[in-house]
Chain A
Amino acid sequence: MIELVDLTKKFKDAYAVKNLNMFIEKGEIVGLLGPNGAGKSTAISMLSSLLDPTGGDVRYDNKSIIKSPSAFRKVVGMVPQEIALYEDLTAEENLRFFGRIYQLRGKELNRKIDEVLEQIGLTDRRKEVVKKYSGGMKRRLNIGVALLHDPEVIIMDEPTVGIDPQSRNYILETVKRFNEERKMTVLYTSHYMEEVEFLCDRIYIMDKGNLIASGTKEEIKRILSSENTISIKAERFSTDFIESIKNHPSVNRITVGEKEILIIVPRAVNMFSEVIRIAEQFHIELSSVDNKAPTLEDVFLHLTGRALRD
């Protein structure tokens, strides 16, 4: 089991991560959610022993990773947010290089390269230099490199940033398969709520360096059990209408889009009639007013007052 105990990182006067407490059980997929700048990358840098914390500890099987990182490093695979590959080398040459530094040699290395290429679906393109690959293929190879030494734990830092939906689905399915087939422990950070909902057993939500919620998907959604999320759609909204909704005493949170406004209100309040009344007052032609089932995105909005991708 991996435990983060009061993990803190301070850069000059600002806390990037403050008193973070987390645990990850063996074979679990745990999501770490948060907007840009929430402190996710700093947290996983400390977790993977690449960055020394200002305070706190990270423990793997009850041994401190901070004091003695070598044992953990042998069993961890890291998928960084960036494409951490040599773009002038082929996929096979990249895998061979990273395999060699993990002390794989000869037939064993060749077998692992074939296996990983098969798993990430790049066997046919193994001889092509990486710079000719699409964004999705690079991301797949980026993951493949982390799998070469059969890690027990894999840490993925936003592995699907900037790729097409098909590649994204492929990666998500692959991660799920690894977890099921190899019982691999996965820490998955993202700011795509739907990825985390699809993949993760448990979720931690971070904002501004602090942990603001944690639990299973259901537990987190239950945070909104006393509230409703209402979606208001129209071709356009006037400023007066938005202000009036925003200032309504029953509205706890509001997110304004071009053609959709989301509001979070207490479950006991009948907001439908209020919305229609205000729309008539400001001559807004509504196309729909719906009561939405709460999503993790709604929870995040409720907790932080802003959307995840802000």
Chain B
Amino acid sequence: MIGILLARLKLFVRNPWTFLIFTGMSIFFAFIIGSSEMGGSSIYVPIHSENETIRDSIIGKELAKEEAYSFSWMSEKALKDKIESGKAELGIILHENTFEVLVGVDSPNKGLVQQTVQAAYTKKLQQEQLIDNISTRSDKDKIVEEFTNLRHSPVFKMKTSSFQNEDSFVYDNSLHSLFGFTLFFVIYTIAYNVLPILTEKQDGVWDRIILSPVKKWEMYVANLIYSFLTGYLQVVVIFLTFRFLMGVNFYGRFIESLLLLIPYVFSIVSLSILITAVVKKAQQFNAVLPIVSVSMAMIGGAYWPLEIVSSKVLLTLSKINPIKYGMEILNGATVYGYSFHELLFPISVLVLMGVIMMGIGIHLMESRHV
């Protein structure tokens, strides 16, 4: 088994192009498509006010602190242009005691942005009421300072959670692109590393190894370990590139994201075995693989969030698609901050899919003399 792994490694070093090309393509596409918000991982919201003082007031300061949204100050005309050209989903016009939301795309983000701006106005109101009830000027400054300190260092913290309604979801475009393209392109790397099982069977190399003291299970395990490691290495390289060269913080769950990808990579190795077992020639494999991978990526939500898909047929199909569960795990771990326990369902589905596809694939390969 070690001999087979060493030979595979040598072949990889001599011809690393498949790996490098697909790794490069993942990075390129994720960077281009997710780059509009790369690093900040926040939703772009243009903002305007006729009253210049609002920007420096507590409202402006509160909005500037928001991490989930990137509020960008501009003229009213520029704001409307951004919405009309589709560069922003919505825009906010702030007044002294109220605000307007200009909506270009009616997405769930509208309600979330509205809540955030409303919260800033509430804080402004609280501060104003406090100041109004204080008589002297010296007291005012002291109490406002004390109030601000208390807000930042409260005696106790209260954390609130709420159920999301069916229409709302948090969508981080840059991470979605990164995850989507990583899960998509790694299919090719893994599949092209499983393909040699088919070509070696046709070339007689496989027969030669069968006649040697090497056991058949060792032949399969060596090939599958190699395919798994190559696929996983690609994922690690892509994530490391985005984490350390482009500053994507993965919501502080970088290591978890990498570890949680193991079931996905395993299921793709199994899928590749199944495809290799079904086709008869490498040419058929080359024709089938793009069809399977692209349709899986579309149905599984690698290119766009599944939450915007309304077709019941597509949503049903997505339930037998490893990419859906891979995306669920990655988005769950990072954007939603789910615990391992909450991610157990998609992890289990991927492991189950992997075991079933591997079982059927190897059975088909063994029952057919190529």
Please list the residues of chain A having a beta carbon within 8 angstroms of any beta carbon in chain B: 45, 48-51, 73-74, 76, 78, 80-86, 88-89, 93, 97-98, 100-103, 129, 145-146
Contacts and interface: CB of A to CB of B under 8 A. Distances in A.
B116 interface: no
A93 B210 CA distance: 19
Contacts of A146: 208
B4 A101 contact: yes
Interface in B332-370: 369
Query: Chain B interface residue count: which class?
Result: 20 to 34
Contacts of B15: 88
A2 B208 CA distance: 20
> What 4 pairs across the A-B complex have the smallest Cβ distances?
A80-B204, A84-B204, A100-B3, A101-B212
Contacts, number: 67
10 contacts: A50-B210, A50-B211, A76-B211, A82-B202, A83-B204, A85-B205, A86-B205, A89-B11, A101-B212, A102-B212
Nearest to A157: B204
Given A82-B204, A83-B203, A89 B14 contact: yes
B10 A82 contact: no
Given A81-B204, A82-B203, A100-B6, 19 more contacts: A49-B211, A50-B207, A50-B211, A73-B212, A74-B213, A78-B207, A78-B211, A80-B208, A82-B204, A83-B203, A84-B203, A84-B205, A85-B203, A88-B15, A89-B10, A98-B212, A101-B209, A101-B214, A102-B213
Interface string B189-206: 000000000000011110
B233 interface: no
A101 B4 CA distance: 8
Contacts of A45: 207, 369
Please classify the interface of chain B as helix (H, G, I), strand (E, B), loop, or mixed, using the class held by over half of its residues: helix
A187 B122 CA distance: 92
Nearest to B206: A84
B204 A101 contact: no
A192 B143 CA distance: 105
Contacts of A74: 213
Contacts of A98: 208, 212
Nearest to A9: B369
Contacts of B205: 84-86
A73 B3 contact: no
Contacts of A78: 204, 207-208, 211
